[in-house]
Amino acid sequence: MAAAMVLAGATLAPGTPAQADSSSNHVTVPADGSWVDTGIDVTAGGSLEITAWGRWRDGAYESGPSGSGKAWPDNFFNLSDIGFCGVCARTMTPRWGALEGYVGYDPPAPGSYTSPAVFPRARKVFFVGAIYEASPQESGRLWLNKNADAYSNYTVDNSGSVTAHITASTPWGGGSPEIPQPGGNPVFPPPTGNPQIPLPTVNPGLPNWYCLGGVPGSCNHPG
């Protein structure tokens, strides 16, 4: 497997639009059911582009990375029958034989769909096909595999492979964009505690009275 090529982002001056860091790799995905670690870590909110080509077989059926035109229940996208036995899945599901992807760790192995416990990981498997362009919904390691034998684990009649070219970019060069500070006068928060009640204004020429509690009408002469 070729090593990932990383393009480092440059340091930007304030106010300069940030550029994304990117990494790319070529991997070969065999038809034997094993998930291939692409060596690429994707970032939620970034971009992921995959181009794939090649041919592989599952028994008498041959397809490319876009999958077979035949729907089949022994399929990683068949979530309806999870927990059934290896030969008990019955829901015909499209995209059998296609290139599929997974982001994270511990992708579901062929044969694992017989256990209900696999469901949270099964939901994360996604269709790649021959051309894939999308923004990842979560961050993690990218894996690729052939979509077949999720229930049966019968991979002995599989052959061939596809090759995938992967490019992944992180948003804002892997960090947060510089956000300019607002200009103008600073805004102070409102005071906390009890509000202050101003003392009444003393009119000239009148006795120097004071009001208890600052409430008009409750005034007394100073003693």
Is 119 or 205 the better-scoring residue by pLDDT? 119
Answer whether residue 181 is part of any domain.
no
Answer whether residue 203 is part of any domain.
no
CATH number for the domain spanning 155: value is: 2.60.120.430
Q: Is the pLDDT of residue 218 over 60?
A: no
Answer whether residue 179 is part of any domain.
no
Answer whether residue 167 is part of any domain.
yes
What integer is the mean pLDDT of 128-153?
97
Q: Which domain holds residue 46?
A: 5-174
Answer whether residue 163 is part of any domain.
yes
Domain count, the chain: 1
pLDDT in tens, 54-95: 999 999 999 999 999 999 999 999 999 999 999 999 999 999
pLDDT in tens, 164-206: 999 999 986 544 334 344 454 444 444 545 444 444 444 445 4
Answer whether residue 46 is part of any domain.
yes
pLDDT at residue 2 in the model: 37
Is 218 or 107 the better-scoring residue by pLDDT? 107
Answer whether residue 41 is part of any domain.
yes
Answer whether residue 216 is part of any domain.
no
- HEC-encoded secondary structure of the chain: CCCCEEECCCCCCCCCCCCCCEEEEEEEEECCCCCEEEEEEECCCCEEEEEEEEEEEECCEEECCECCCCCCCCCCCCCCCCCCCCCCCCCCCCCCCEEEEEECCCCCCCCHHHCHHHHHHHCCCEECCCEEEECCCCCEEEEEEECCCCCCCCCCCEEEEEEEEEEEECHHHHCCCCCCCCCCCCCCCCCCCCCCCCCCCCCCCCCCCEEHHHCCCCEECCC
